[in-house]
Amino acid sequence: MVNLYFQPDAQLTVQDRMVLDILHKDYDRQKSNTLPKEGADSVDSDVKHTRFDSESPEELEEQALAHMKDLNNPTSSKFEPTIFVTRDYPDITNPLLRKYIVDPYVRWGRSVVRVDTDVVMLTHLFLYLFTSIPSALYLLYNFHWWHAPLHTAMQLFYMGSYTLMMHQHIHMRGILNKKLAWIDAAFPYVTDPLMGHTWNSYYFHHVKHHHVEGNGPNDLSSTIRYQRDDPWHFLHYVGRFYVLVWLDLPRYFLRTRKPILALKAGVCEVTSYAFLYAMFTYVNARATVFVFLIPLAIMRLGMMIGNWGQHAFVDEHEPGSDFRSSITVIDVASNRYCFNDGYHTSHHLNPLRHWRDHPVAFLAQKEQYSDEHALVFYNIDYLMITFSLLSKNYMHLARCLVPIGDQMKLSVEERAEMLRSKTKAFSEEEIASKWGKQFAKLK
């Protein structure tokens, strides 16, 4: 038996393939006390990856770390910027395309973006400038029923990448060179409503609230009071966010003695809804539904589904640990298309860590992840983690688990039960015991 039940996707990023390969070798060594051999059980038998000559496990990890650092280092000859989410830079091999279009664009793009690796974010800004914005404007000007659903479908396709681009934006306070700070400050007011975000709400909720509370009892998006495999609990979780987040977030800031943040968050929410009302009432009601309202409804549902999956497994003994209240996902959708969003534990450990550095940080801290009983999954994204939980399909989740540390000793059935034990709702007495009485709603 091998630890990986599914063939890793060929679209995994180079870094993800290297991390997954090393984790697989760790498991194989634990089972056989020998290095894994090439063969049918190799996780990368049909997947391109970087090979190293060393036979020592320690040297393999050191070489992998060094290689990943070189890929991120603009001064290294191995440096690779990200230009597109769908295609890696070295895979663009047409010499004419490289010489006259791609390489000049990369050279110029590196001078425009804040971090040299992030040419992809400039690419996405151009993508929205030449597709989303013209399509929305034309729909508002001249509505057609054939155009409206196509526009919404296009926006749905963009939402994941856009939101995680903005995730980098709100943590770094921009994605472009600081000389272009005015563009960084301005474009979200145009693109956020098109992608289902209200103005600045992502920043206030995620940076100023969620990362402060860390899925604890004071976190408005906390999962700990919910049974995370119960559909009714999930519906209550989503419903409360839909209906009350505009009020709950300012109230939270007032309760924590941050009146300026309360005022800003409240004003941004109210003005966003006022804008939507004005567009619906005075501009074009039908177009407003497809351009703004449907994306808003889908985005808020998606954010809650994602956060549920990210924080569904909370350790019953140390629920306040970032290692034990969040997970790592090695998956195509989460990492290739959404800027390494799968490395959620790494992000909570250091919210300012650049997205390209997450695989490096994970590999460098691999032993600590093992010692802390962290959870690592592959071949599944947050959406499917949430769906698997709500259908109580723990066996599928167990098969998607990449066991590390003591988890390697468990059978797949034992892994399923271990995962089940981490989805139980915390009682108010347990919250008082783990976080303090001031956080519990005791009678």
Is there a contact between 103 and 128 (Cβ–Cβ < 8 Å)?
no
- What's the pLDDT at 203? 97
- Give percent above pLDDT 70 in the chain: 94
pLDDT band per the 50, 70, 90 thresholds, residue 46: very low
- What's the pLDDT at 41? 43
Whether pLDDT at 438 is above 90: no
Whether pLDDT at 56 is above 80: no
Is there a contact between 165 and 339 (Cβ–Cβ < 8 Å)?
yes
User: How open is the CA angle 297-162-167, to the nearest 5 degrees?
Assistant: 100
- What's the pLDDT at 42? 42
> Distance between CA atoms of 204 and 58, rounded to whole angstroms?
42
Q: Residue holding tokens 């007032």?
A: 254
Q: How many CA atoms, within 13 angstroms, populate the side-chain half-sphere of residue 201?
A: 28
User: pTM for the whole thing?
Assistant: 0.92
- What's the pLDDT at 356? 97
pLDDT in tens, 123-164: 999 999 999 999 999 999 999 999 999 999 999 999 999 999
Whether pLDDT at 187 is above 50: yes
Query: 26 or 280, which is more confident?
Result: 280
- What's the pLDDT at 52? 55
- Give percent above pLDDT 90 in the chain: 87
Whether pLDDT at 231 is above 70: yes
Across the chain, mean pLDDT equals: 93
Q: How do the residues of the chain divide into helix, strand and coil, expressed in percent and rounded to 5?
A: 65, 5, 35
- What's the pLDDT at 47? 43
Q: How far is CA 410 from CA 33, 413, 443, in A?
A: 17, 8, 40
Is there a contact between 152 and 143 (Cβ–Cβ < 8 Å)?
no
For residues 381-398, average pLDDT:
97
For residues 327-353, average pLDDT:
97
**Which 3 state secondary structure label does DSSP give 378?**
strand
Q: DSSP secondary structure string, 148-180?
A: HHHHHHHHHHHHHHHHHHHHHHHHHT-SB-GGG
Whether pLDDT at 31 is above 80: no
Whether pLDDT at 193 is above 90: yes
Show the DSSP H helices in 315-437 as ranges. 322-325, 344-349, 358-364, 366-371, 382-390, 394-399, 412-421, 428-435
For residues 203-221, average pLDDT:
96
- What's the pLDDT at 33? 62
- What's the pLDDT at 44? 45
The answer to which of 37-41, 90-94, 177-181, 334-338 has the lowest mean pLDDT is 37-41
pLDDT band per the 50, 70, 90 thresholds, residue 58: confident
Q: Residue holding tokens 């994970």?
A: 362
Whether pLDDT at 50 is above 70: no
pLDDT band per the 50, 70, 90 thresholds, residue 29: confident
b/e code 61-71 from CB counts within 10 Å (16+ = b): bebbbebbeeb
- The sign of the dihedral angle between the CA atoms of 131, 136, 141, 142 is positive
> Distance between CA atoms of 369 and 321, rounded to whole angstroms?
11
- What's the pLDDT at 437? 87
- What's the pLDDT at 178? 92
- What's the pLDDT at 425? 97
The answer to which of 5-9, 45-49, 74-78, 386-390 has the lowest mean pLDDT is 45-49
pLDDT band per the 50, 70, 90 thresholds, residue 14: very high
